[in-house]
Structure 1
Amino acid sequence: MSSSVRKKISYDKMFYKIGEISGIAEIEPHVLRYWESEFPFLDPRKNKTGQRVYTRKDLDIVLQIKDLLYKEKYTIAGVKKKFGGNSSPKSTVSIKTIQGVRKRLKEILATLK
């Protein structure tokens, strides 16, 4: 991540609107919406009024996609393959977290026996 991008990111914020993400990543909002349709792992939540609400993880994914497409000259299909097809980086993290918790619980259970 370049230093100019790091300066634009407000680390105290938990959520960002599409315009903020667009400004930080220096891409147009319509590009973000297109990426959402192409990459299932980029799936920001929507608030009560239907506005997209991006998390810090979503921002990191957007910056990775931008880097792969524009700097490393990947194709859309190449980015999908790089991220593991249709699997979500979010779900991978969640599975690893669940596996870690399960392992820890088994250790605690063994200790209690």
Structure 2
Amino acid sequence: MKRTVIIGSNTKTTSYAFLAATRLKNNGHEFFPVGISEGKVLGKKILNIHDMPVIEDVDTVTLYINPTRQVEWYDYILSLKPKRIIFNPGTENQELKNKAEAQGIICEEACTLVMLSVGNF
């Protein structure tokens, strides 16, 4: 089970972040929805990113916010001390990747949904 923080979570059931939460749950992974939206994702309250919620023992951060919006959250994302960051399509960010890799964090430009589908998450 990989504790996964989903940054960019929202309540729209058709969003990729919501679909990722669904697949993570179905595959037995614990997920933490983090975003600016209020509400719940599969019964879990969306944690407000502005509060910079502390989440311990994070394996993976999967990003669903574009690179421009990521900038103000670099310190927060890195403070989670994940083992890896997944940059989903449209979230690729060389600056954040460099900062993360300098701290020993594995960075993957991949699709969380595909990774879960083919069993290499």
TM-score between the two structures when normalised by the length of structure 1? 0.26
TM-score between the two structures when normalised by the length of structure 2? 0.25
